[in-house]
């Protein structure tokens, strides 16, 4: 089965009306690989504006994601947004479980699994993030940590057809450090094996597993060439013109 290459751009808490307009215009006018699916995640305040101005047709089919989504449908949850609200404004992707949500805001594996479940129930596709800290990697616990994160979602969700798994080693996010192509492939292969063992061989073969962690134009082709790396979740570089080169990393 051929898996379509996928590149996500997580703008995090960056951008203004003017800067995001420039980023969107650059993407709209770029010669992007039509075989690569591209999803960008602006800050929530700008999500509808980006949705209205990004091209969703033509050669490059671009889409917009939320950077987070709560597990409840409505209620007294100040500052949160729901899957139903994303659906209402025609935003059909969400990033769930990013390490910054886990480490800075205390999102647990169980809460993340509930968020994934809530999104899928509303037909919101999910970029589901997993990954280990430097301390966990040095202790030889990378696969143990990642499999525990996968298992929490696996207990609640059996159909992963609308999930893209993003492996993001926490020690490589925003640090300038990056996993080698071999390190990325090792964990991606283990994730695919976990999917095959705990869900189905069809799920393992079909699920896209992307890498995130200081991805740049300089390293994307090497990492993206590995057999179990199906694309990237890009942070800081998604705000720069080089994002186009990363989107085209798999272009023949």
168 has catalytic annotation: yes
Question: Any idea what DSSP says for residue 166?
Answer: E
147 has catalytic annotation: no
Among the listed residues 33, 5, 62, the one whose alpha carbon sits nearest the alpha carbon of residue 252 = 33
- Catalytic entry in 98, 100, 147, 188: 98
- Catalytic entry in 37, 132, 168, 188: 168
CB of 39 closer than 8 Å to CB of 63: yes
Query: Hey, how many other C-beta atoms are within 10 angstroms of the C-beta on 210?
Result: 25
DSSP 38-103: EEEE--GGGHHHHHHHS--SSSS-EEEEES---SSSSSS-TT---HHHHHHTT--EEEES-HHHHH
Catalytic (active-site) positions: 98, 168
């Amino acid at each position: 089965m051929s898996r379509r290459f996928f590149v996500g751009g997580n703008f995090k808490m960056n951008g203004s009306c003017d800067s995001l307009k420039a980023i969107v215009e650059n993407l709209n006018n770029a010669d992007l690989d039509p075989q690569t699916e591209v999803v960008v995640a602006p800050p929530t305040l700008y999500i509808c504006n980006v949705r209205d101005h990004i091209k969703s047709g033509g050669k490059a089919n671009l889409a917009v994601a939320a950077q987070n989504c709560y597990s409840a449908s409505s209620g007294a949850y100040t500052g949160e947004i729901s899957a139903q609200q994303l659906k209402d404004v025609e935003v059909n992707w969400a990033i769930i479980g990013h390490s910054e949500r886990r480490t800075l805001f205390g999102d647990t594996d169980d809460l993340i699994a509930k968020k994934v479940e809530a999104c899928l129930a509303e037909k919101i596709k999910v970029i589901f993030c997993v990954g280990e800290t430097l301390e966990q990697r040095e202790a030889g616990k990378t696969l143990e940590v990642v499999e525990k994160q996968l298992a929490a979602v696996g207990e609640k969700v059996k159909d992963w057809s609308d999930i893209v798994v993003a492996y993001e080693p926490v020690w490589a996010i925003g640090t300038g450090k990056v996993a080698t192509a071999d390190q990325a492939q090792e964990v991606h292969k283990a994730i695919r094996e976990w999917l095959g063992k705990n869900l189905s061989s069809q799920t393992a073969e079909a699920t896209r597993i992307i890498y995130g962690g200081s991805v740049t134009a300089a390293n994307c082709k090497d990492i993206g060439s590995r057999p179990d790396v199906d694309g990237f979740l890009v942070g800081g570089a998604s705000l720069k013109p080089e994002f186009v080169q990363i989107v085209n990393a798999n272009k023949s």
